Structure 1
Amino acid sequence: MKTKLLYTLGFANLFIFCFYLYSFTTQKDSTDFSNKILKVKGVVVVDSLGIERVIIGSHLPPAQTAKGYRKDTRGNSVSGVMLYDHEGQERGGYVTDDDYGNAFLTLDSKIGQHLLMLCEPQGSAYMAMWDGKNAIQLKTAKDDGYIKLTKGNQQIKLYEDEK
């Protein structure tokens, strides 16, 4: 009689526990963030080896060189998106600076910057492409504008608004 009672209580206990477990695991406990705004100070995207490939943030870290150390080449605080290659070296970005409020778009090689597009808050714009001794510069401003070509350290003026 005691054995039957113990078996009955054991099965009843097991049944109640399974019902309890089932009832709480089938409820939706996760919060839906699909319509929410996520506010963060930065996001770092890394590849499968843990190397930083994209950094989105407010006050980005200094540029990282090919030798792996950070070097402050920008001289001021910038915020935006920076792109890095498979070795973690900075290869360009789209940023704004805190000093003047300029917006920049840059593309870099392994050895340095080669494309710069800049727009000032007042509306002036500047674009430059260069590689060694050759360069192309375009500038527009309220009262000024020019296009300059440099080939082999020799400047060739295509157009300059002189007064």
Structure 2
Amino acid sequence: MEKELRERLTRCEQANRQTRLMLCVSLTLLIVLAIGQPGLTQVDAQQSQVVDILRVAEIVIVDNNGVDRVRLSGQLPDAVINGKSIPRGEKAAGILLYDDTGQERGGYVTFSPSGNVALTLDTRKQQVALFAADAEDGAVARLWRGKDWVEMRTDAGGARLSIGRSDELVVQEPAISEIQAKEICSNLIGELEKLDERPSSEVVLRACKQRMTDSLCRSCLGLQ
């Protein structure tokens, strides 16, 4: 009888220890879940959160090889064409595209202080397409191949089509009149002075000859 009671007491103590162990484990799991669940919810909320405004100075997107392919910036660097750095002439902000060699191939850019905005396309050797608008009422679309080009433009001289060979105007329809030439020369000089306080007569003449005939340029610039 006494032996049987001892055996029952031993079994009860063992069962009691197992029960207490299970209770401890269960309580621990409940505490972990209670603490961990808000944290998981917070992480999920952070991952699904949408940022309304992101203010940064520059974003650069690279490809799998680490080559810069897209640059979005409020202060773009000088252009790089055919391995050469080419000053833009003004402060520029916008987006630039690069090929898999890191060569700039075009972009959508605003300029300061002129206020011009332009969409450009480049080969690896030169700029070949330009679509631009100034800060007032002028616009231009130009295509290049080497020093030959064709251009459609609207400005103070009206709307016209021009064709250039070896970087000089050879065809223009309708042709700019002498009266229109004076206003265009004045505007052109103003544009160049924004880039250089005192542009040389050679620089002004070269730029003018892409807009008008040599004789009109020399006449309105007083170079005859």
Shorter-normalised TM range: 0.7 to 0.9
Q: Secondary structure at the match of 1:27?
A: helix
Q: Does structure 1 residue 4 correspond to structure 2 residue 20?
A: no
User: Counterparts of 2:113 and 2:166 in 1: how far apart (Å)?
Assistant: 34
1:117 to 131, 134, 144: 131
What is the match of residue 172 of structure 2?
A: 157
1:131 to 134, 139, 145: 145
Q: Alignment partner of 1:36: what SS?
A: coil
Between structures 1 and 2, the one with greater strand share: 1
* Paired residue secondary structure (1:148): strand
**Whole-Å separation in 2 of the counterparts to 1:150 and 1:66:** 23
- Alignment TM-score, normalising by the size of structure 2: 0.60
Note the aligned Cα RMSD (angstroms): 2.9
Q: Percent identity?
A: 25
**TM-score calculated relative to the size of structure 1:** 0.80
Cα distance between partner residues in 2 of 1:59 and 1:128: 25
Equivalent position of 1:38 in the other structure: 54
* Pairing partner for 2:67 from 38, 41, 51: 51
Residue segments in structure 2 that go unaligned for 5+ positions in a row:
1-12, 180-224
2:194 is aligned to none
- Cα separation, 2, equivalents of 1:15 and 1:8: 11
Looking at structure 2, the residues matched to 53 and 37 of structure 1 have their Cα atoms a distance apart, in angstroms, of 24
**Runs of 4 or more above 4 Å deviation:** 151-154
Q: Is the Cα contact below 8 Å between 1:108 and 1:115 reproduced in 2?
A: yes
Q: Shift of residue 157 of structure 1? A: 2.7
Q: Is the 8 A contact 2:82 2:126 kept in 1?
A: no
- After superposing the two structures, state which structure 1 stretch, 91-100 or 135-144, moved more: 135-144
Name the larger-Rg structure.
Answer: 2
CA distance in 1 between partners of 2:57 and 2:134 (Å): 24
Q: Do the aligned residues in 1 keep the contact of 2:131 with 2:141 (CA within 8 Å)?
A: yes
Give, as a single letter, the amino acid of the residue that structure 1 aligns with 2:139.
A
Residues 93 and 109 of structure 2 are in contact (CA less than 8 Å); yes or no, is this contact kept in structure 1?
Answer: yes
Structure 1: segments with no counterpart, 5+ residues:
none
